[in-house]
Amino acid sequence: MAGIYDREGNLLQPPRYFDAASYRRTIRKLRSMRPGYLLTAHYPVMRGREALDFLDRSLEFTDRVNRATWESLQGGLTDLWELTRREDVRLGPYPGFMIELGAGVRAHMGVLGPA
| Strand-strand pairing, 11-13 and 37-38 | unpaired
User: How far is it, in rounded angstroms, from Cα 18 to Cα 113?
Assistant: 15
Q: What is the pLDDT of residue 96?
A: 84
CB 4 within 8 A of CB 96: no
User: How far is it, in rounded angstroms, from Cα 22 to Cα 31?
Assistant: 14
CB 29 within 8 A of CB 23: no
Q: What is the pLDDT of residue 114?
A: 45
Q: What is the pLDDT of residue 115?
A: 40
Summarised one tens digit per residue, pLDDT across range 74-89 is 989 889 999 999 999 9
Task: Name the residue ranges covered by the structural domains of the chain.
Answer: 16-112
Segments of the chain scoring below 50 in pLDDT = 114-115
Q: What is the pLDDT of residue 98?
A: 87
Q: Which residues have C-beta within 8 Å of that of residue 3, sequence separation ≥ 6?
A: 11, 12, 13, 14, 15, 61, 94
How many helices and strands (H and E) does the chain possess? Answer: 4, 4
Could you tell me the pTM of the whole model?
A: 0.87
